[in-house]
């Protein structure tokens, strides 16, 4: 989310270079750069600009070492007054490892779908080696919907029996997921990916997508930096206590057998700690979307996340779901709007 404008420009430039076959036409003062990236080689033009590449060879059994790479870069700069900018093409797995250990001056680059495609800093740019294939696959999955179909789907997934008016997340500052109680590493990884996905769908509300607030929440800020969304993973006895003290507007979450497994409010979600990892992720998505104003159900879109006929549980948002969320958080609709006014705003018959 940080440095999005800068990284977007870098991403566009790199895509242009890759699609052109990694070749560049320079002026008469520069030599042509070779379009063949060789492992651990440096190619220097007449202006002493050097680009190095370190391809990951999967069948070699070698593991990419970020610290060794950084030390190598630093030693090059000490022994040579020239400035070197590293571009490294690596596997998606290694890129994910570097992302988990990146320093304060390194920033993630995501595409429009929230996929991690690179990491950039003042000295080095890491790019995933299957970038072009990833972009081509993304292009194939995008589906065009009629505006009326998207608007009707939005009405279905927003206005449930308990939701007479819109209640959208705020846009005055970014949201951050705050996890406490019995959370796991899988929970934290999933929520960061969810934050990236929601950011790609919203023009108004944004989520901190590089770190979570974990454990005890510090409240001694001079100015609170985020709107926090609290997720508690708790045992049955604690969930029962929360149910007994339930406040107006809090919604009970029950499984197909009618057993209480969670509660959700405007800015929080409580889930039972005995849920499987898959169930926990499903209900995290369900709870966050519910808090964002999506209380409804669709009966006409079987691939939708909001289709729950016959106990069916789709675990991911469909393309139509994503388009509806874009419309919901595109800036046209406001908190407090009822269904008739929403239909008018979207150009639907009332």
- The whole-number average pLDDT for the span 258-268 is 95
Residue 134, Cβ density class (10 Å: 0-12 exposed, 13-18 middle, ≥19 buried): middle
DSSP lists the bridge partners of residue 178 as 213, 230
262 vs 133, higher pLDDT? 262
Would the pLDDT of 114 be above 80?
no
Helix, strand, or coil here: 268? Answer: strand
For position 143, what pLDDT does the model report?
A: 67
* 49-103: pLDDT as tens digits: 344 434 343 333 444 454 454 454 454 444 455 667 889 899 888 888 888 888 8
- Gyration radius from the chain CA atoms: 24
- Residue 55 CB neighbours (<10 A): 17
Residue with tokens 């405007």, as numbered in its chain: 266
Phi-psi region of 102 (alpha: psi -120 to 50; beta: other; left: phi over 0): beta
- The gap from C-alpha 120 to its chain's centroid, in whole angstroms, comes to 17
CA–centroid distance for 307 within its chain: 23
User: Residue 214: is its pLDDT beyond 60?
Assistant: yes
Rounded Cα distance, 242 and 168, in Å: 24
Domains and CATH numbers, the chain: 4-138 (no CATH), 147-345 (3.40.390)
CB 207 within 8 A of CB 174: yes
């Amino acid at each position: 989310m940080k440095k999005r404008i800068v990284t977007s420009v870098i991403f566009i430039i790199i895509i242009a270079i890759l699609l052109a076959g990694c070749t560049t036409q320079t002026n008469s003062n520069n030599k042509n750069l070779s379009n063949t990236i060789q492992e651990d080689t440096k190619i220097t033009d007449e202006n002493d600009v050097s680009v190095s590449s370190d391809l990951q060879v999967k069948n070699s059994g070698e593991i990419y070492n970020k610290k060794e790479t950084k030390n190598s870069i630093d030693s090059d700069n000490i022994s040579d007054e020239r400035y070197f900018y590293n571009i490294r093409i690596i596997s998606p797995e290694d890129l994910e490892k570097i992302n988990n250990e990146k320093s304060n001056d390194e920033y993630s680059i995501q595409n429009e779908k929230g996929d991690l495609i690179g990491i950039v800093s003042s000295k080095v740019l890491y790019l995933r080696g299957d970038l072009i294939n990833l972009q081509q696959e993304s292009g194939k999955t995008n589906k065009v919907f009629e505006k009326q179909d998207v608007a009707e789907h939005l009405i279905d997934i927003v206005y449930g029996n308990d939701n007479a008016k819109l209640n959208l997340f705020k846009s005055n500052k970014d949201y951050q997921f705050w996890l406490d109680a019995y959370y796991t590493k899988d929970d934290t990884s999933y929520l960061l990916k969810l934050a990236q996905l929601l950011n790609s769908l919203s023009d108004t509300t944004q989520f901190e997508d590089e770190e979570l607030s974990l454990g005890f929440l510090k409240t001694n800020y001079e100015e609170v930096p985020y709107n926090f969304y609290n997720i508690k993973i708790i045992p049955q006895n604690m969930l029962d206590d929360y149910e007994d003290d339930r406040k107006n507007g809090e919604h009970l979450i029950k499984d197909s057998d009618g057993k209480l497994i969670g509660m959700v409010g405007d800015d929080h979600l409580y889930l039972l700690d005995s849920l499987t990892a898959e169930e926990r992720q499903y209900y995290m998505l369900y709870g966050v979307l519910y808090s964002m104003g999506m209380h409804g159900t669709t009966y006409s879109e079987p691939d939708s996340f909001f289709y729950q006929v016959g106990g069916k549980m789709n675990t991911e948002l469909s393309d139509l779901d994503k388009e509806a969320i874009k419309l919901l958080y595109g800036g046209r609709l406001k908190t407090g709007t009822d269904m008739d006014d929403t239909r008018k705003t979207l150009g639907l018959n009332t």
